[in-house]
Amino acid sequence: MTTTTTPAAPRAHSRKGLFVPFILLATLVVLWSAAWVWVRDRAGREMDAWLGREAAAGRTWTCADRSISGYPFRIELRCASLAFARADSRFTLGPVTAVVQVYQPRQGILQVAGPFHVEQGDLTGDVTWTSLEASFHGASEAFVRASVVVDALKGTVRGPGQPDIAFDAQHLEAHGRPTPGRFAAEGAVDLSLRVAKAAVPFIDPYVGNADPTDIALDATVNRAATLHTGTVARELEAWRQAGGSLDIALLSLAKGNRRAQAHGSLSLDPSHRPEGQIDVRAAGVEAIVGQVMGQRFGAEKGALIGNLVGQFLGGGRRARAEAAAPDAVPPADPALKALPPLRIADGRVMLGPFPIPNVEVPPLY
């Protein structure tokens, strides 16, 4: 008897493996979402703790309608408005947004909308702009870089018994970084400031033209690490006692055909007044001197004094300064004439050996 065997039916392949990538992706999304929620909640707790420490120190911050969003890769802190108050000053800002990437928590971007209103003692100020963005790059022991960029800045400063001082600027940017090799030991910070097309109508009559001004400043603030967020008087006094000073590598001003470059060093004396020496080179000095002196002695005498000053300054003072200290004088524009050193001491301002009349430097605090 012959037996026949029926071949077994082919075994169906399981399709479960097709779903494994989707399951892994869903698990990853759930884990990342949980981690983001934890980071968001921790950021909120950290901010509450910081606000509490600030309030205990006499500084009150108010973030209206605070919210934290930015899922999945960012943490975005938003305030409908921001207010700050302490014993000697207060200010308010419009909407503020701070953004930090989850994977780069030490780098942040701050976007601020105006208006800005500030009160400092008897002074008040109001400022607006079309765009303001700040950035911060931190490190484990210090910061790497901080920057502020502002477009279409416009404002007014008011004081009791003083005329309002209006100002505006087409573009402003400021950058700061720890001074290489000096921050850890001396707390030194390098600053760079650039202002394009600035206008302060209050000073135009003294300079003799209404052209906008371009400003460039490169400087180092020594002992900057001693400065915190206390009152102005307390922070400046701590900075003074620590030996703080401002070393100006280059200050450049250009206002039409009036131009000036300066370098030097400033600090605070025991009476809390600025002191130091600034070396200045300028073009158009004759017109500036003539304008200022003309307001006091009349246009004719002012022009004569200005011409005499111009002839005096053109007589080789620059060459003598370079011969005496060649490394201390930055590369010069040949059109600029060297002025006598500008010295500030004991509340007085001296141009060379001559005190500038009717000019007194008041204490800063």
pLDDT tens per residue across span 167-220: 999 999 999 999 999 998 999 999 999 999 999 999 888 777 899 999 999 999
Q: Is the bond preceding 72 in cis, omega lying within 30 degrees of 0?
A: yes
Q: What is the pLDDT of residue 206?
A: 74
Q: What is the pLDDT of residue 290?
A: 55
How would residue 293 be classed by pLDDT, with cut points 50, 70 and 90? low
Which of 33-37, 110-114, 215-219, 297-301 is least confident? 297-301
User: How much is the pLDDT for 22?
Assistant: 82
pLDDT at 44: 93
Predicted model pTM: 0.80
- 225-247: per-residue pLDDT in tens? 999 888 889 999 999 999 999 99
Q: Give the confidence band of 310 by pLDDT, cuts at 50, 70, 90.
A: low
Amino acid of residue 183: F
Q: Rounded to whole angstroms, how far apart are CA atoms 165 and 159? A: 9
Task: Tell me the residue type at 260.
Answer: A
| 2 has pLDDT over 60 | no
pLDDT at 330 over 70: no
What count of other Cβ atoms lies within 10 Å of the Cβ of residue 124?
15
Mean pLDDT of 31-41: 93
CB atoms within 10 A of CB 80: 12
Binned at pLDDT 50, 70 and 90, residue 297 comes out as low
pLDDT value at position 295? 52
Nearest to 192 by CA among 176, 178, 179: 176
Query: How far is Cα 295 from Cα 301, in angstroms, rounded to an integer?
Result: 10
Say if residue 105 is preceded by a cis peptide, omega within 30 of 0.
no
Q: Is the pLDDT score of 84 beyond 60? A: yes
Closest CA to 254 of 180, 325, 333: 333
**223 has pLDDT over 50:** yes
Give CA–CA dist 62/80, Å, rounded. Answer: 10
pLDDT at 176: 97
Contact 265, 276 (CB under 8 A): yes
Question: Are β-strands 337-338 and 189-199 bridged in parallel, bridged antiparallel, or unpaired?
Answer: unpaired
> What would the mean pLDDT of 304-323 be, rounded to a whole number?
51
What mean pLDDT comes out for the span 115-139? 95
- Cα 172 to the chain's mean position, in Å? 9
Please report, in angstroms and rounded to a whole number, the separation of the first and last CA atoms in the chain.
120
Q: How confident is the model at residue 162 (pLDDT cuts 50, 70, 90)?
A: confident
Six-digit token string for 209 = 């033209």
Half-sphere exposure for 272 (CA within 13 Å, toward CB): 11
Strand (E) or helix (H) holding 134 = strand 131-138
Q: What is the mean pLDDT of residues 301-329?
A: 51
Give percent above pLDDT 90 in the chain.
62
Q: What is the C-alpha to C-alpha distance for residues 45 and 65, in angstroms, rounded to an integer? A: 16
Helices (H), the chain: 20-56, 183-186, 204-207, 232-241, 285-297, 299-313, 317-324
The predicted pLDDT at position 351 comes to 80
The helix or strand, by DSSP H or E, that contains position 199, with its residue range, turns out to be strand 189-199
Q: How confident is the model at residue 357 (pLDDT cuts 50, 70, 90)?
A: confident
Distance from CA of residue 42 to its chain's centroid?
30
